[in-house]
Structure 1
């Protein structure tokens, strides 16, 4: 034990010495390049390295699940999570009126993806985002941002649009962005941000004349002025017309795949989430009930459909795994089992006229998962 402590002390001294030698270098400013990519470098910090080593000593205070999430990020720096929630709990009210909004929830959001938070009303989505933004404090657990405990310094690495944005109606989009940019020293980003959010043509018009979709895009622009590495959007398409939804979808795609930002969003429009998100988490009563890549979740809940010459033979053979439907038979099996099933049916003399894998939409998966969790 003494050797481990001594080793950790040496590691701490080496880290501090190395960072002191480089502390004089000023960080390079972030900038939008000609292809509109957001890039830049940050100078290392003695305090951040010290804090990281100290937190390693405090790992035994986290739950086993939280330790596993933190350890996986530490072991592979390239896969460090943009945001991690470690056994986070939050309740409101007291006694008989107690509402458990979040119940020991652990969730890791990878860098560089569009990540969707789904759940019925009261599932805990908004509470989770408010905790991430620092508007609420969790009763228990920890929030990490890019591998470090959430703090004002770490939250400055996030751009946030929580609920509907509010603006001065008599100011223009350019004036709003300039006002924020002066405070942050990023005036050079005003024009590139206006271009990114598609408001160049309306940049000098008063916001009072903007549509809801334009206001939503301006809200995202205000978040981008802070040069974030990740952006958090709460119901970004709420109330938008079809054109506004298409514009928002394109903007979110560009933020992630052209500007290399991590995008965390909540939404109740499941069709839009399926179109724009790489991964999703489904919450129910403050608990994580499903998580994964959208394609994997859809495959997992898929069904195999067969049109055969004698469906009654197939139904009898497969029992409760099969049901008749759409002039054929639906079989609930894993996709990897399909070749073996076809081979066994052919060997049994069952003549197959048509076969296909039926993939559900995200709404079907969502309803299936939340209904199962209510049982």
Structure 2
């Protein structure tokens, strides 16, 4: 049975007279990467702040490794590591001195653990250099090392790839996957890079206007969404022929989309050509999370 490390049940937050979070529920499992997506003003950041104890929920419950954050705050937060926005580091100290400084705030964390997290995040060669000489990716890794000092079971990362170049994004993605699969951490990732969430996460929760509208595995969210892009002329004749065969989606730019059926595509193309329709493009379009996101949120901008 999969172990639940973070449980959020009917969580609500009211500020003034406005209900920001409207009874959301989700769970994280041990060893998974969980994506948290929401358009502007959806309540994603407010939720994260409640999870890490920065603000109190109006109602509902948050449990971390079985500890309720309201009744057992210390024990709950002891199992949680997080980076909300950018990691706060001292640039004129070395990476090692930064970790030593934060380790002093925790019980039972000595130099051995500092060495372990340094090796884990791949900073052994640079840990004695000043942080001001680090690249953005290295600072992110040092921030994660800091978050891992207390051996948490749940790691919350807010925009972990923000500002990184493509190589840095790929490296961070591989590192997060490693933490989940090899170290058994539950990682909640908030990100505005939908393509990155698709590659990185096992499951995704999509939040809009304070409500979670879908939570599922990336595979299930995108299954049965594969499409075929068609361009042809005469346009109306081709469209009518395809409409008699399958469901047709017509785009404003004149593109026709149909469902992907591997055994039928060649047959449909043949029928179009035999009817005198000239097919100029027939292209398989793989499903992407961005399309689903825009569909579910009505095209709202993401945070």
Same fold flag (TM > 0.5): yes
What is the CA deviation profile of residues 120-161 of structure 1, one whole-angstrom value per residue up to 9, with x for unaligned ones?
Answer: 121111111111111111111111222342232022111111
Q: Which has the higher contact order (CA 8 A, sep 6+)?
A: 2
Within 5 A, what are the aligned runs for 1:1-375? 78-94=1-17, 98=18, 100-150=19-69, 151-182=73-104, 183-187=106-110, 188-303=112-227, 311=238, 314-318=241-245, 321-323=247-249, 330-332=257-259, 338=261, 342=264, 358-371=285-298
Stretch moving more, 100-109 or 172-181: 172-181
| Closer/same/farther in 2, CA of residues 330 and 251 from structure 1, 3 Å limit | same
1 or 2, which has the higher helix percentage?
A: 1
| Closer/same/farther in 2, CA of residues 327 and 125 from structure 1, 3 Å limit | closer
Cα pair 1:283 1:289 within 8 Å, conserved: yes
Cα pair 1:177 1:190 within 8 Å, conserved: yes
Partner secondary structure for residue 184 of structure 1: coil
For residue 253 of structure 1, report the CA deviation from its aligned partner.
1.4
Distance 2:243 2:33 in 1: 44
Count of residues in correspondence between the two structures:
284
Distance 1:135 1:283 in 2: 20
Rg larger in structure: 1
Distance 1:168 1:316 in 2: 63
Cα pair 2:157 2:187 within 8 Å, conserved: yes
Cα pair 1:101 1:286 within 8 Å, conserved: yes
| Closer/same/farther in 2, CA of residues 254 and 240 from structure 1, 3 Å limit | same
1 or 2, which has the higher strand percentage?
A: 2
User: TM-score, structure 1 length as denominator?
Assistant: 0.67
Partner secondary structure for residue 36 of structure 2: strand
User: TM-score, structure 2 length as denominator?
Assistant: 0.81
Distance 1:324 1:170 in 2: 58
For residue 223 of structure 1, report the CA deviation from its aligned partner.
0.9
| Closer/same/farther in 2, CA of residues 164 and 358 from structure 1, 3 Å limit | same
Distance 1:116 1:206 in 2: 33
What is the CA deviation profile of residues 37-81 of structure 1, one whole-angstrom value per residue up to 9, with x for unaligned ones?
Answer: xxxxxxxxxxxxxxxxxxxxxxxxxxxxxxxxxxxxxxxxx2232
For residue 199 of structure 1, report the CA deviation from its aligned partner.
1.3
Cα pair 1:315 1:323 within 8 Å, conserved: no
- Unmatched 5+ stretches in structure 2: 274-278
Partner secondary structure for residue 116 of structure 1: strand
Cα pair 2:239 2:256 within 8 Å, conserved: no
